Structures are given as structure tokens and as C-alpha cells.
Structure 1
Amino acid sequence: MKVCLVGSSGGHLTHLYMLKPFWKNKERFWVTFDKVDAQSILEGEKMYPCYYPTNRSIKALIKNTILAIKVLRKEKPDLIVSSGAAVAVPFFYVGKLMGAKVVYIEVFDRIDKPTITGKLVYPIADEFIVEWEEMKKVYPKAVNLGSIF
């Protein structure tokens, strides 16, 4: 199984990195911001830098959609996993069209309100994971796996 782990740097990347027991023995690649924290955490990993800032940026969305088409066509992942933020959206939609399964993990600090990214990818997610039982009122089809932290 080939896995694409996609997310903003900072907390979102840390969240994905904490899933190491899941991804450590799988063929994988990362898509994140080319920032110092990402370079440090992902040293030795295959990483594709994406465009930022992404929040409410049509320009970044277009650039990241083009990037998603190129990267996903080249890498052909079986599974795309993200905990946000906006860069996940084009990778999920393009990946879904290319036949990949998509799994979204809503961020830990959201207890009873959705993120914009969560709302955008919820309709197409093969699995939507929340970390608080209260979030199942927001996302009824979600699975509560508890805290990753």
C-alpha cells in the first residue's frame, strides 16, 4: 500500500507524524509546506512542497490543484490521509477521482464545531475520524477514535 500524507506544517504535520505506527512500514510520501519544521521532521522522507498560505486563497487552491494532479498522477497512492488544513482539499478531490481512498482526521482542538476543510472533505471521505464524541453531532458518519495525542 502506498500512502500520501498531506497537510499544513506545524500542528497538522505533527498530528500526521504521530500516526507513525501506521505509516512507518508503508511506502509513503508527504505533501506539506516547505518550512523549517517540516524539513526537520521529515528529514529523509519523500516530500513534495505545496503552495501557501492556503487559507481562503483561490490562488493557492489553483496552484495546489495543479500540484495534486501532477503528484498523484506520478505517485499513484492507494490512500491519502490528512488532518488539514486547506491543502488537503485538492489532494482529496483529485485523489478520489483517481481511485485513491481518502481518510480525514478532524483536528484535536475542534470539540464541537467543524473546520472549513472538514466540511469540504466530509462528503467524499471514505473514513472521517474525530477525536471527541461531541463531534459526531457535527459529522454523524464520523468514527470517534479518541485522541491521537
Structure 2
Amino acid sequence: MSKENIKVCLVGSSGGHLTHLYMLKPFWQNKDRFWVTFDKEDARSKLKGERFYPCYYPTNRNLKNLIKNTFLAIKVLRKEKPDLIISSGAAVAAPFFYIGKMMGAKLVYIEVFDRYDKPTVTGKLVYPITDKFIVEWEEMKQVYPKAINLGSIF
């Protein structure tokens, strides 16, 4: 399979996390892709014309929605069978990463730009299973020793 023929799942909260993923457009624009994010106005506007699955929110410290998003991950990932899952957080990424890993997908996590010395909860949860863990500050390599610093994507 060539790099152009891969199917990509982009998963994350709406708002800044979605903007972060959207900025990767030069990478994903020519790929078969789908999105998983909150069904909010900013996501509907930004993803107009894109294949998009709404997830349950709020996600932070919400066990009920974690369970619902885990079942959503099973359903969506079985249907779509992505080769690659990319996220910059937040909590909705965790079930998609763990279920995706069990289904053979490669995982890339990008720790958010505003974290330069402390990990996010989602980053800590997915770090052990990611294929590539990307940080945007050199200081974050102290927190995540196996990370790759690609600098800012902003």
C-alpha cells in the first residue's frame, strides 16, 4: 500500500484540537479520510463536505461518555478500517487509539502546542501504545523520551 492510498482517521475534540488536526491538511487532503469530533458549530463549519462521525461530549472526567465513545470507536473503526489514526487530543482520542491498536491501525499522537513542560492526561494515556508520539517543544522530550520534536505546526 502506498502512502497515498492509506485511510486516515482524524479524531479529537472540536475547537483547538480540531484546528490543530485541520492544519495538517497538506498531509491528509489527498487521502481517504474521516473525522471523529464533537457535533458543534465549529466542527460542522470546518468539516463541511468531509466524512464526519459525531462523538459524545463532554469527555473530560465523564465515565458515561467514555463508555459511549468506546462503543462508538468499535462501531466506526470496524466500518471504516483505517490504516492510520491521528489525534492531538483530547479524551475522545483514547478509546479510538486503544480500539484502533487492537485492530492493527498505526497511531500518531501530537501533544498540543500549549504544553511545553507537563503532559496532558490523554497524552499520558496513549503514549505507551503510539507508533509515533510528536511534541512541539524540545522540553517535552523530558516528559516523553521516545517523542519526536517536529516543532510547531502553527
Shorter-chain TM-score above 0.5: yes
* Runs of 4+ displaced beyond 2 Å: none
Residue equivalent to 1:7: 12
* Residue of structure 1 equivalent to 2:3: none
Aligned residues: 149
Root mean square deviation, CA, Å? 0.2
Q: CA deviation at 1:19?
A: 0.1
Spell out the pairing of 1:37-116 with structure 2 (5 A cutoff).
Answer: 37-116=42-121
1:68-122 Cα distance to aligned partner (Å, 9 max, x none): 0000000000000000000000000000000000000000000000000000000
Q: TM-score, normalised by structure 1?
A: 1.00
Separation in structure 2 between the aligned mates of residue 126 and residue 28 of structure 1, nearest angstrom? 19
Map of 1:11-22 to 2, 5 A cutoff? 11-22=16-27
Q: CA deviation at 1:128?
A: 0.1
What letter corresponds to residue 74 of structure 2 in structure 1?
Answer: I
Give secondary structure in 1 for the equivalent of 2:128. coil
Tell me the CA shift for residue 143 of structure 1: 0.1
Out of 122, 126, 130, the position equivalent to 2:127 is 122
Looking at structure 2, the residues matched to 139 and 19 of structure 1 have their Cα atoms a distance apart, in angstroms, of: 22
Segments of structure 1 that go 5 or more residues without pairing to the other structure are none
Please give the TM-score of this superposition, normalised by the length of structure 2: 0.97
For 1:142, which of 137, 141, 147 is the aligned residue? 147
Structure 2 stretches of 5 or more lacking a match? Answer: 1-5
SS of alignment partner, residue 123 of structure 1: helix
For residue 50 of structure 1, what is the amino acid of its counterpart? C
